[in-house]
């Protein structure tokens, strides 16, 4: 089969499935919505025809059965009931699984006979036959989080906190709960212990996540999931590693095998990597024109160099600089994709979660046409799903509780996106119970995240930010949806790596708003280079408002500040902050005032050198999340420069 046609078929099918899901949701909320019904019927008919034309007969027969059932509903011969809708959604999920298999293997082995029989039975016997049929057909479950339910199995009493598949191990999966004892450098000793374990076994996963463990963010013990023959082999090996004081092991292979059935449907609410972009013909014409100019400029530059015409070469370089700048802007624009490419699947996610939890939720999306870079859009899909799960599970109360509080039975979750210059703000707001400040304080003390004295000095906004700490959760019990203390730390880490920020605001009894601030594009950034001692740093030019000499500063309460438009800007000494080597200009130098929208501070440096566009690489591993640094850039001379993050500095 022609790969070009297959790829086009897959992309079109994915879009059709998303459209079908959302139209079905519209119909479920309003059975009299004839426009939604017509859209559903057209989409199902198109899917059936496409599957048949490509030779995927099983999928075509499933789509045909769904189409026939929808036809009965359209003609008014069958009512729109929750059980019937569950069965139709289960059929759509099966179609989505088939498309995923076709994309991965070129064919599908999914058995559709059972669900086709269920659909045909409902057609013949009526809506009563739909009750429970969706569950029998492996219908939609709730979207699981990154770990399985806390469970104990094996030889020891080790909690299973991973979604790692047994298929990834050559032997068995052994969970080892490791205690490194008292340590002055918890993260460093944990890292050394893990590296020592890796000399003997493959480490498949860790709980908390390995980055958090190596940052010392765990209580007493952490768990490694190892590919090993049995617990005895692991026990004998770990007992000989000096950095490990004690370890408890358990074989969790069977437990994970049992869990794999419940987590195999994770793809139902998974947003796949965006592999195709629709490009406007005008953009292609612009790109073609720029390439023509690039070729012409290259020829002119070569000729000038061959003739030793330095003036001509200089002019050609300036021309080349303009062409490449326009080329960069055109390519960056071509990478921009509307937010609806990702959030289009979220209404179905919220619907399934709310039904599973017995809650009534009205989900609204605003600003789905806002565009973001393809890479950023792909990366934020999982964080947004984590936030939505928390809003539905922890935020929105059960209908009976809402009525007791004088609220409408149906809760509201709203996802809003807006553009602010070169950033996009995405907010997820719910009208649920809000965050409990005292519960967060108690949990922070219990887990040793902060001391009582530190918590006492923190305002509510700072307390809310503690929910991003790895393993932090105030949930009374673990559910399939959330409550294990994972998820929000993933949100924070992902957004930070994208050079963005995340903020939580909450009012007890009224609701919570989680805000993500993300750059529209990434990678190529124009920076201002400043010198501090013997070091050079880059400040993103978008963060800079003004550059002045350092002689304008004053002192307030013993701290250096500058005044601008009657506002006080504290001065951050970059030399002291980064302990820069070499002699720094203490009383002299320059001040770089940061835009007020980013942070109301001024940065003191020895001198300001130049501006330049660079490719920024985010920090990874144990350096990820380092306060004040967003990444590094390699200059033309090969030197590496740190790029500052003015928000966390």
Q: What's the CATH number where 237 sits?
A: 3.30.70.1110
Q: What is the SS3 assignment for 158?
A: strand
Q: Which of 136, 160, 181 is the last residue of a domain?
A: 136
Are residue 217 and residue 322 in the same domain, yes or no? no
Tell whether 339 is covered by a domain.
Answer: no
* Domain region containing 130: 3-136
307: Cβ contacts below 8 Å, ≥ 6 apart: none
Q: Which of 519, 536, 564 is the last residue of a domain?
A: 519
Task: Please provide the size of the chain in residues.
Answer: 649
Are residue 233 and residue 329 in the same domain, yes or no? no
Tell whether 351 is covered by a domain.
Answer: no
Cα(387)–Cα(381) distance, integer angstroms = 10
Are residue 58 and residue 176 in the same domain, yes or no? no
Tell whether 18 is covered by a domain.
Answer: yes
Active-site position among 390, 394, 469, 598: 390
Which phi and psi angles does 634 have, rounded to 5°? -100, 125
Tell whether 528 is covered by a domain.
Answer: yes
Low-confidence residues of the chain: pLDDT under 70: 1-4, 130-159, 258-276, 470-487, 522-523, 585-587, 621
Q: What is the SS3 assignment for 267?
A: helix
Are residue 512 and residue 528 in the same domain, yes or no? no
> Given its phi and psi angles, is residue 373 left (phi above 0), alpha (psi -120 to 50 degrees) or beta?
beta
CATH number reported for the structural domain that contains residue 634 in this entry: 2.40.50.180
User: Could you tell me the two tokens for 65?
Assistant: 């059965």
Q: What is the pLDDT of residue 267?
A: 38
Are residue 529 and residue 514 in the same domain, yes or no? no
* First-to-last C-alpha distance (Å) of the chain: 55
Are residue 373 and residue 487 in the same domain, yes or no? yes
Tell whether 433 is covered by a domain.
Answer: yes
Q: What is the SS3 assignment for 311?
A: helix
Tell whether 20 is covered by a domain.
Answer: yes
Q: What is the pLDDT of residue 415?
A: 93
User: Could you tell me the two tokens for 49?
Assistant: 């025809």
Are residue 291 and residue 430 in the same domain, yes or no? no
Q: What distance lies between CA 4 and its chain's CA centroid?
A: 30
318 is catalytic: no
Are residue 227 and residue 162 in the same domain, yes or no? yes
Cα(324)–Cα(290) distance, integer angstroms = 8
CATH number reported for the structural domain that contains residue 381 in this entry: 3.30.565.10
User: Could you tell me the two tokens for 516?
Assistant: 């993500």
Helix (H) or strand (E) holding 644: strand 640-644
pTM over 0.75: no
598 is catalytic: no
Q: Detail the DSSP E strand segments found in 104-165.
A: 152-153, 158-159
Are residue 585 and residue 463 in the same domain, yes or no? no
Active-site position among 14, 67, 161, 598: 67
28 is catalytic: no
Are residue 45 and residue 174 in the same domain, yes or no? no
| Residue 243, number of CB atoms within 10 A of its CB | 19
Active-site position among 19, 45, 245, 612: 45
Are residue 49 and residue 91 in the same domain, yes or no? yes
User: 608, 578 in Cβ contact below 8 A?
Assistant: no
Tell whether 275 is covered by a domain.
Answer: no
Tell whether 649 is covered by a domain.
Answer: no
User: 208, 217 in Cβ contact below 8 A?
Assistant: yes
Q: Give 37-52 as a 3 state SS string.
A: HHHHHHHHHHHHHHHH
Q: What is the pLDDT of residue 481?
A: 47
Helix (H) or strand (E) holding 443: helix 437-446
Cα(591)–Cα(580) distance, integer angstroms = 17
Q: What is the pLDDT of residue 458?
A: 84
Cα(441)–Cα(65) distance, integer angstroms = 54
Are residue 510 and residue 390 in the same domain, yes or no? yes
Q: Which of 80, 107, 136 is the last residue of a domain?
A: 136
DSSP-derived letter for residue 618 is: E
Total structural domains within the chain: 5
Instruction: Rounding to the nearest 10 degrees, give the CA dihedral for residues 602, 607, 609, 610.
Output: 20
């Amino acid at each position: 089969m022609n790969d070009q046609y297959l790829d086009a078929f897959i992309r079109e099918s994915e879009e059709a499935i998303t459209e079908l899901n959302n139209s079905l949701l519209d119909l479920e909320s309003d059975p009299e919505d004839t426009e939604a019904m017509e859209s559903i019927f057209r989409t199902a008919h198109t899917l059936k025809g496409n599957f048949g034309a490509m030779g995927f007969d099983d999928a075509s027969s499933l789509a045909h059965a769904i189409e026939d059932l929808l036809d009965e509903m359209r003609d008014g011969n069958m009512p729109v009931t929750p059980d019937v809708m569950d069965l139709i959604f289960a059929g759509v999920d099966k179609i989505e699984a088939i498309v995923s298999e076709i994309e991965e293997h070129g064919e599908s082995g999914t058995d559709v006979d059972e669900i086709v029989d269920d659909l045909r039975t409902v057609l013949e016997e009526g809506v009563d036959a739909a009750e429970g049929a969706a569950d029998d057909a492996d219908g939609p479950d709730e979207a699981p989080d990154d770990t399985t339910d806390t469970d104990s199995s094996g030889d020891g009493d080790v909690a299973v906190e991973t979604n790692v598949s047994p298929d990834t191990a050559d032997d068995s999966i052994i969970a080892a709960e490791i205690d490194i004892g008292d340590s002055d450098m918890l993260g460093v000793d944990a890292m050394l212990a893990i590296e020592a374990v890796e000399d003997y076994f493959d480490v498949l996963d860790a709980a908390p996540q390995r980055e958090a463990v190596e940052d010392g963010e765990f209580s007493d013990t952490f768990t490694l999931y190892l590919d090993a023959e049995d617990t005895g082999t692991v026990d004998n090996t770990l007992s000989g590693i000096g950095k490990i004081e004690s370890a408890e092991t358990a074989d969790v292979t069977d437990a994970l095998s049992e869990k794999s059935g419940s987590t195999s449907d994770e793809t139902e609410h998974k947003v796949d990597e965006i592999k195709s972009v629709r490009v406007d013909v005008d953009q292609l014409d612009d790109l073609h024109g720029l390439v023509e100019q690039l070729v012409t400029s290259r020829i002119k530059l070569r000729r000038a160099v061959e003739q030793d015409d330095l003036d001509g070469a200089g002019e050609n370089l300036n021309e080349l600089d303009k062409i490449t700048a326009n080329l960069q802007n055109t390519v960056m624009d071509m990478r921009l994709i509307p937010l609806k490419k990702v959030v289009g699947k979220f209404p179905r996610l919220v619907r399934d979660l709310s039904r599973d939890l017995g809650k009534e939720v009205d989900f609204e999306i605003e600003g789905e046409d806002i565009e973001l870079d393809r890479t950023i859009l792909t990366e934020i899909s999982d964080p947004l799903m984590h936030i939505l799960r928390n809003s539905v599970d922890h935020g929105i109360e059960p209908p009976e509780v809402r009525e007791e509080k004088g609220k409408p039975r149906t809760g509201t979750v709203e996802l809003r996106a807006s553009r602010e210059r070169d950033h996009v703000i995405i907010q997820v707001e719910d009208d649920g119970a809000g965050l409990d400040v005292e519960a967060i304080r108690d949990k922070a003390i219990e887990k040793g995240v902060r001391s009582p004295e530190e918590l006492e000095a923190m305002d509510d906004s700072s307390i809310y930010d503690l929910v991003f700490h790895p393993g932090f959760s105030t949930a009374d019990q673990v559910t399939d949806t959330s409550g294990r203390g994972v998820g929000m730390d993933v949100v924070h880490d992902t957004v930070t790596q994208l050079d963005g920020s995340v903020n939580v605001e909450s009012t007890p009894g009224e609701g919570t708003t989680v805000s993500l601030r993300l750059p529209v594009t990434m990678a190529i950034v124009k920076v201002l280079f400043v010198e501090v001692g013997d070091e050079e740093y880059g400040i993103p030019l978008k963060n800079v408002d003004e550059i002045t000499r350092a002689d304008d500063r004053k002192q307030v309460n013993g701290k250096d500040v500058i005044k601008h438009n009657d506002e006080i800007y504290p001065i951050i000494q970059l030399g002291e902050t980064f302990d820069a080597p070499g002699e720094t200009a203490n009383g002299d130098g320059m001040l770089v005032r940061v835009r007020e929208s980013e942070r109301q501070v001024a940065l003191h440096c020895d001198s300001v050198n130049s501006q330049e566009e660079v490719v920024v690489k985010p920090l990874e591993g144990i350096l990820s999340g380092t306060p004040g640094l967003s990444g590094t850039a390699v200059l033309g001379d090969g030197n590496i420069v740190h790029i500052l993050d003015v928000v966390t500095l």
